[in-house]
Amino acid sequence: MLFIFPKPGDCEESSKIMSQLSHQTQLVITGCFQEVVKIATARRYHLIAFLTFDDAFPASWYVHELVANHSPTMILTKVRESHIQLVNDWMQRMAPCPECAEEHSLFDESLKYIDQNLCETDLSLQTVSDHIFVSKYHYSRVFQKKTGVGFKEYIMSRRIETAKKLLIKGESVTSVCYSVGYNDLTHFSRIFKRLVGISPSAYRKTIFEPAPSLPMSIPSKAYTG
């Protein structure tokens, strides 16, 4: 489910109310209606809810035109705390399976996107959540729940695992550093050593440098006494 709010004026009070929305929802808060159109038309949702704390939506928000082409949709103005509770109660009565499948599919898509963009230095919670059209706060909660680790920790781990594979293939440490999204060799080496236990150059040496051969011993003459 997608819940869309125009950016509110009274941030403290509205944030308090919005925080009570069920975690099953994908929450978007924006002042740009073009962004709303992009998100709402990117794929089909089980429900798109347009909500505002004011008497009406901003003049530039042609909500009803968007609703005419994309359903099912709910529109609610003058939102109060009691309305959010009613929405949550209604959501709890709905069958959870379609939502779970939808969320699972989106999460899988996000992991694919991460692996395909590890080389990008600006790979972040925001860029990934934008890619699957969910709020970064919702995505952060789902990510922690499904992986058991934070987003930054996961990215770091994936980058270092990829770096190890590239080093095994024979790429230089400098090349690998940039290939997995780091633009500072010292920082990359420090992260690598923290997770692997040795520096990337030492890791590479263990693969490509042959073990030193033992000196041949000269047999002593047998004692003939």
Which residues make beta-bridge pairs with 5? 29
26 DSSP assignment:
E
Read off the pTM: 0.52
pLDDT for the residue 190 = 95
pLDDT for the residue 220 = 45
Helix (H) or strand (E) holding 183: none
User: In the structure, how many helices (H) and strands (E) does the chain have?
Assistant: 11, 4
pLDDT for the residue 38 = 74
* pLDDT, block means (10 residues), the chain with 225 residues: 59 59 61 72 67 76 63 69 66 52 74 91 90 86 88 93 91 94 94 93 80 48 44
pLDDT for the residue 154 = 92
Q: Which two tokens stand for residue 8?
A: 């509110």
Q: Is 39 in contact with 26 (CB distance < 8 Å)?
A: no
Q: Where in the chain are the domains?
A: 2-94, 116-210
Cα atoms found within 13 Å of the Cα of residue 139, Cβ hemisphere only:
23
pLDDT for the residue 75 = 75
pLDDT for the residue 59 = 77
Helices 136-147 and 151-168, axial angle in degrees (round to 10): 60
Q: Which CATH architecture has domain 116-210?
A: Orthogonal Bundle (1.10)
143 DSSP assignment:
H
